[in-house]
């Protein structure tokens, strides 16, 4: 459960899926990216911003810091290109963070407070796992919005990632 190579693969997959998503979103007409739709996070843009914010929140928890976010829809960055830069920086930071952790640190219990004030505790391993699952969950929402916009969504599940690694001559995922 606390295998660092497994966690790093999850984080690498998450970064790849984010990159694929941003690439597809950048191909949409700008008005479709920010168009308000019948979805809890309002738009593709706000949904993508939410993913960045939540990663910041959980990284902060794991580093013993709080967060400043008040709502699920907080937007600090207004332009897609700037948001994409911040996303890439966060994905790099998360990879470096996982690399820096010892087995003992992976097992450490982290206290957290969610937006809205609910609190809890779980291992750092589960916090990292949550980041990846949360990202996949909301990229699914974004994919649904692609359908509403009449566009083909990115195909970004783990078997596609595995194939991309293999076809790119990159190291395979751990067994």
Q: How is 70-112 classified by DSSP, letter by letter?
A: -STT-----SHHHHHHHHHHHHHHHHHHHHH--HHHHH-EEEE
Is residue 113 within a helix (H) or strand (E), and if so which, with residue range? strand 109-113
CA distance 150 to 40: 19
Q: What is the distance, to the nearest Å, from the Cα of residue 117 to the centroid of all Cα atoms in its chain?
A: 21
> pLDDT at position 111, please?
96
> pLDDT at position 80, please?
96
Tens-place pLDDT, residues 95-141: 999 999 999 999 999 999 999 889 999 999 999 999 999 999 999 99
- In the numeric block, which tokens belong to residue 135? 């990202």
Q: Are strands 119-123 and 109-113 parallel, antiparallel or unpaired?
A: antiparallel
> pLDDT at position 122, please?
97
Tens-place pLDDT, residues 30-80: 999 999 999 899 999 999 999 999 999 999 999 999 888 888 888 999 999
- Number of alpha carbons in the 13 Å side-chain half-sphere of residue 24: 21
CA distance 54 to 171: 29
- In the numeric block, which tokens belong to residue 19? 């990159």
- In the numeric block, which tokens belong to residue 44? 């593709």
The CATH number assigned to the domain with range 4-167 reads 1.20.120.450
Q: If DSSP codes are grouped into helix, strand and coil, which group holds residue 160?
A: helix
């Amino acid at each position: 459960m606390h295998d660092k190579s497994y966690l790093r693969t999850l984080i690498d997959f998450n970064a790849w899926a984010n990159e694929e998503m941003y690439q597809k979103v950048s191909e949409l007409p700008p008005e479709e990216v920010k168009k308000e739709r019948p979805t809890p996070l309002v738009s593709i843009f706000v949904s993508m911003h939410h993913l960045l914010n939540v990663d910041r929140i959980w990284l902060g928890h794991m580093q013993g810091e709080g967060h400043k976010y008040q709502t699920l829809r907080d937007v600090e960055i207004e332009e897609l290109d700037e948001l994409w830069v911040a996303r890439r920086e966060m994905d790099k930071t998360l990879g470096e963070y996982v690399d820096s952790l010892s087995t003992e640190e992976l097992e450490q219990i982290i206290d957290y407070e969610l937006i809205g004030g609910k609190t809890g505790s779980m291992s750092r391993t589960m916090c990292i796992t949550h980041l990846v699952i949360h990202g996949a969950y909301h990229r699914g929402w974004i994919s649904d919005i692609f359908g509403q916009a009449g566009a083909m969504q990115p195909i970004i599940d783990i078997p596609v990632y595995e194939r991309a690694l293999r076809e790119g001559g990159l190291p395979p995922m751990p067994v």
